[in-house]
Amino acid sequence: MRAVKFAGAAVAAVIIVIALLLVVGIPSGFLTSTIASRVENATGYRLSIDGTTKVSLWPTLNITLNDLTLQDPRDRSGITRLTVDSVQADMTLSSVWSGRPKISELVISHPVLYQPLLRERLPNANPSPTPAVSLDMDGASIDRIRITDGEVAFSRVRDRVEGRISAINAEAVTDRDRKVDFAGTARAGERAIKFDIKAGMPAPPIERQSIPVDFAIDIPDVLTSQLTGHAETRLNGGVVMINGLTGVLGDGAFNGWASVDIASKPLVKLDLDFQRLTLPLSKSPEGTAGQPWSNAPIDVSGLNYVDAQVRISANEANIGEARLAPLALDAKLAGGVLKAGTSNLGAYGGQISGEVILDATSGAPSFAMHSDLVGVRALPLLKGLADFDRLDGKLQAKLALRSAGTSQRALMANMQGTAFTNFQDGAIRGINVAQMIRSLTAGTLSGWQDSQELSTDLSQLSASFRIDKGQAVTTDLNLIGPLVRVTGAGTIDLGTKMMGFRVEPKLVMTTEGQGRTSDPVGFGIPVMIEGLWSQPRIYPDMAGMLDNPDAAYAKLREMGKGLFGPDGAGLGNILGSLGLGGAASNGGNAAGNANPQTQQPGQNDLLGGPLGAAIGNLIQQGLSGGAGSGTGRSSRGLPATPATPAPQASPAPPAHDDPPAAQQDSQPMNDVLRQLFSR
């Protein structure tokens, strides 16, 4: 309202000055006080003319005033004022002779409106009524007003805060039916704005009269398409009331109402309901998933200088990459603290409820949030929030977080709180845990197995995190899949996008899957996952293996039992499928003992004895061989296989001078294992 009054007062001041010029002629020093007195009586504002005044009679009557200042005499600070470099008016001599001056064009060059920013609403903010301002004061009229290079400067000296709406170039055209078309361009910071506002002006005074307004606004950096609409506006003291608000944004219609109290600190009330709401957000450049968080400053200090009560609802909302349906958001901004909450937010097939509190009252803004997510699809959510696209599934989560900082990096590095996450019926993309175990016998994996065809199905993946200074620590990571289990613990550094986990993968070596009665078989060596979460290194924890080499080797032998089943029951089928049926058809003869007549029942347990040793030997050789060629791998392998064979349930008589049976019988097993464990 203050800006509207200043604009009206400025126009009225120009008309009064021009009228006096027509009567008195070229002004002299004594006339300046007379002009200022007439302007103050008509508008309530004080006018100062510090520059020269020029009058030209050819080709039309032209009057130019330079260095004007318009100020509210009740504002002792002098902050609120309007300065104008020059005002130029063109009119016809015939209209002057008729006594009703008709200004064909009024050009206002570089007007600057200085408006202070207030942290608190002032008591008795509604100003006393000022005389009504009319565009045809004293019988004069204006057809066209042109503003060039205008500015609105907002500032608060105490907070060292300043903002501007600059490069205002606009034109207002009035027709005989008092319809005004006000169109132009401006810049708010780095954002370009284009507007076109049409209003039907009632006969003066316009206070409390309904003014129909049609508008079209383009802000390419904020809105995906043009915002158009219609409203009935009314001025009531320092409040602009906007009723019957309807319009279209993109392909979504909306309706609602609004009011703006600008008597002191602005108070905005807004209630809008959209059919479809689409708002773009700035995207990260391609390929920046592994890049650090932005260190660009985030300035939310403007929240201190406006109060608001906002309700936004939509049947469908697309905000950046987020897809929300339905959306119901209530927000309140008061004293620099913004509280926004939702209890019925549909997101990616699930629901989100919670509240976010943003406190902008200090130099380093802080935020706190609590949220519950139920049945939300994880992949698009994590990709949009953290550039992480390796997990998919239905997500259930409880979050309680808080942080402070002036950039993305600072906010993530200062994060504190707790988080519980549970993914169900999904997959880990880009990695196959079973194949990873096989690959780790020969070398280190550098990054995820980047292939759209690779994934690990999961029935459930759960973990709870305690977060302190950006370090999210978990000790209960648990993944359950149809053919794999993974347990472990580790830390995610939210500030640097780094991760460090020590996990123990286990394979389910039976078609019974999760309904099995036996335990899954472990790899025998803990696996480390370290580095950027977009491209970590995955390698066996050789140091952990050497802490307890006997147990690690025993697990590798146990892995052989899982592969072929107890007592080698599944060996015949596997060998047959690989074209080694002859070896399997002889039972234990070809694969276990050179003297079948003397073989005892306990000797059929080939995996518990020679075959288990062969499996361990083979994997040991793979680890030892891969250690030399794998990147970042330790050169230490598994301990050598003991020379003494494993004890048998009932030992057979020793063969005379024949080679040891284990060496002869393990060759088919080696063929099988090479095919199972080779890359």
pLDDT over threshold 60, residue 611: no
CA distance 331 to 306: 13
Tens digits of per-residue pLDDT, 399-438?
A: 999 999 999 899 999 999 999 999 998 888 777 776 766 6
How many residues comprise the chain?
679
**What is the per-residue pLDDT for 432?**
74
The encoded tokens of residue 8 equal 């009206």
164, 187, 521, 596 from 191: Cα distances, Å: 11, 6, 60, 88
pLDDT tens, 190-227? 889 999 999 998 887 788 889 999 999 999 888 878 99
Asked if 561 and 555 count as a contact pair (C-beta separation under 8 A), the reply is no
pLDDT in the model for residue 10: 65
Please give the distance of CA 75 from its chain centroid, rounded to a whole number: 43
- CA dihedral (43, 44, 45, 47) positive or negative: positive
Tens-place pLDDT, residues 503-548: 888 776 554 544 444 566 655 567 888 888 877 887 777 665 556 6
C-alpha span between 321 and 20 (Å, rounded):
61
Residues whose CB is less than 8 angstroms from the CB of residue 316 and which lie 6 or more positions away in sequence, other chains included: 252, 275, 276, 277, 323, 324, 325, 326, 327
DSSP assignment of 253-319 equals EEEEEEEEE-SSS-EEEEEEEEEEEEE--PPPPTT-TTSPPP------GGGGG-EEEEEEEEEEEEE
Summary count for the chain: helices (H), strands (E): 13, 31
Q: Record the tokens describing residue 615, joined without a space.
A: 């499996």
Pick from 307-311, 483-487, 553-557, 598-602 the range whose average pLDDT is largest. 307-311
Confidence band, pLDDT 50/70/90 cuts, at residue 61: confident
Are 253 and 275 in contact, with CB atoms under 8 Å apart? yes
Q: Is 44 helix (H, G, I), strand (E, B) or coil?
A: coil
Cβ-contact 280, 240 below 8 angstroms: no
What is the average pLDDT across 582-599?
41
Give the rounded distance of the alpha carbon of 256 from its chain centre.
Answer: 27
Q: Are strands 102-116 and 144-156 parallel, antiparallel or unpaired?
A: parallel
The percentage of residues in the chain with a pLDDT greater than 70, rounded to a whole number, is 63
